[in-house]
A and B are shown apart, each in its own frame.
Chain A
Amino acid sequence: MRGPSLAVKGGILLAVVFAALKFVLPLFTAPLPMSLIWLYLFLATIGIVVYGTLSAESTEALLGPVFRFLSGEGIGGMAKSARLAVLALVPLLVGWQTYSGLVPSSQPPAENRTIHPAPPGEFVGLSNPVPNTPENVMQGRGFYSAFCSPCHGAKFNGNGAASDGFNPPPANFSDPGTIAMLQESYLFWRIKKGGVGLSVEGHPWKSAMPRWEVELSDDMIWKIIMAEYAGAGQKPRTWE
């Protein structure tokens, strides 16, 4: 039994590439812009054409069905109606694409905020000078309750009573994707310099995190950091 022609296989391959880039990849990482997806499809198409035109047989296998479809040769019955529908659809799709490209966007500009941008050099590798004793952690919990819990929550989950209106929302420390993957020095920078201390990719203009260096001593900040890790049941990331 003859298998599908090279043209059909090529079409299936393009569909698989598109589905993988458009729907599967975003499950693991940031979605790709459509322009990049089209570029990959274009490159895949070139690859299929190059492969399909290596010999006269493969060229016929690749282009034969396309030419027969275009000419309508040997196509009858339902397939004939389907061919006409496809031929009518192509100009309509081109028209729709043109219209879509020209119509004013109703979406606000995309915001690709980096959640954990690189800290300034002066904060890299700092170690907590405050001994991790139960007394210090207890003190840190007191400071946390007074200064941090209104937004980050008494349960360290970012669900404080003052959190509802903020975009981006306060960090959820119990989430393994937040402080568990950061060093204590990183938290020290974020607490000390606050939202306004972020680099441009961190969108500092939107962060409600106060610049706590104005109100808290370094000692208090280090104790708060210990309390956050203890309260959220997390451990700071260290260099193994």
Chain B
Amino acid sequence: MRIVPLRNRAGALLAVAAGLLWVAPALSQETVVVRAKLIPGEVPTDPMAPVWNTIPPTEFPMSPQVHWQKRIGSVTVKSVKVRGVHNNKQIAFMLEYADPSQDPADAAALEFMVGDKKAHFAHGQPMGQVEGGPVNIWYWRNDAPGAVDMSAQGFGTLKKQAQQDVQAKGVWKDEKTKIKFKERKQSLRKDPKGELVKDSKTGDPIVDEETKVVEQEVSGVWRVVFTRALATTDKEDVQIQTGTFPNVAFAVWDGKKQDSGDLKETGSQKAISSWWYINAEPPPDYSIYLYGLMAVVLAAGVEFVIIRKVKKGQPA
């Protein structure tokens, strides 16, 4: 076996480290931004359209809604994968998430800030020291055709807009998918004799907690596509400009009917995300290459003049 000299190995390691440093920001950013890719032709309204398989998803963790009453302790959907495309006129987002059952009350929503003012992610509720703005909510429910375009600025203000601009379509497939989520296990600490170990200060039994990421296979996947024009004439709508980073949040309801007759998740009992970002890819602007080239030529010219001047100034 040929042994690589130490210096070469160190060089290779350095190259790999530099490569990782170069790539790391690109990878990390994909946890906070939904990139809506610019595509030619019509944006897909069908959740099963082949183009979706060419778009890398961004996955967002979901939490039970605990911010306001009525709360919920645990939710079915632990994360959503989101893809986006646009064609400079229309934009489409596809939410994909595991849900073992297809129920009439299954639902999903996107939420956006409207205007320049920051809005609280919980329906744009008023903030104590900040004048917040409204939110625009795109809502889809399995047993209702299309989508509902809504506005809110605080709890109890949610209303259907007069001008409906959003379309949506959902497809549930009985296919297997793998999900990852954090599992927490708590246990009372015991000594080798099997006796409970107690805190020396408080006398309380000591609880140990183990958290691990669990991968689970789930049968059943929702794919829901929302489409809308990038810009609309409705002042209550979010206006999406290419190249910008509007805020977005997600909500999902598992509408499964329980034995009690109640829906598992309904109303404020739902899975929610925090604010994240969308970014509609701007159309290519080739002028920046021209400006870069002009800068190279200009800098080379200045360099040439300086060198010439220095050479002329040299003593013979």
Contact = CB atoms under 8 A, between A and B. Distances in A.
A94 B296 contact: yes
B277 interface: yes
Interface in A183-218: 193, 195-200, 203-206, 208-210, 215
Nearest to B122: A208
Chain A CB count within 10 A is highest, among B32, B66, B118, B313, for: B66
Contacts of A162: 63-64, 66, 73-74
A-side interface mostly: loop
B161 interface: no
Contacts of B126: 196
B282 A104 contact: yes
B129 A204 contact: yes
B127 A196 contact: yes
A46 interface: no
A208 B69 CA distance: 13
Interface residues of B, number: 70
Contacts of A90: 299, 303
Interface string B260-300: 00000000000111111101001001001101111111111
Interface in A150-172: 150-151, 153-155, 157, 159, 161-168
B291 to A, nearest CB: 6
Interface string B52-69: 000000001111101111
Nearest to B202: A230
B295 A97 contact: yes
A106 B288 contact: no
B74 A161 contact: yes
Contacts of A197: 127-129
Interface residues of A, number: 55
B38 to A, nearest CB: 12
Interface string B150-162: 0000000000000
B234 interface: no
B108 interface: no
A193 B128 CA distance: 8
B43 to A, nearest CB: 21
List 9 A-B pairs, minimum CB-CB distance, nearest first.
A165-B63, A95-B296, A99-B292, A98-B295, A91-B299, A94-B299, A167-B274, A91-B300, A197-B128
Interface of A: 67, 70-73, 87, 90-92, 94-99, 102-109, 120, 150-151, 153-155, 157, 159, 161-168, 193, 195-200, 203-206, 208-210, 215, 230
26 contacts: A67-B310, A70-B310, A71-B314, A72-B311, A73-B314, A90-B303, A95-B292, A102-B292, A105-B243, A108-B29, A150-B66, A155-B207, A159-B211, A165-B60, A166-B274, A167-B274, A167-B275, A199-B130, A200-B129, A204-B120, A204-B128, A205-B118, A205-B119, A205-B132, A206-B275, A208-B122
Given A95-B299, A105-B243, 20 more contacts: A70-B307, A71-B311, A71-B314, A73-B314, A87-B303, A90-B299, A90-B303, A91-B296, A98-B292, A99-B291, A108-B279, A161-B64, A161-B74, A162-B63, A163-B63, A165-B272, A166-B63, A198-B129, A205-B120, A206-B275
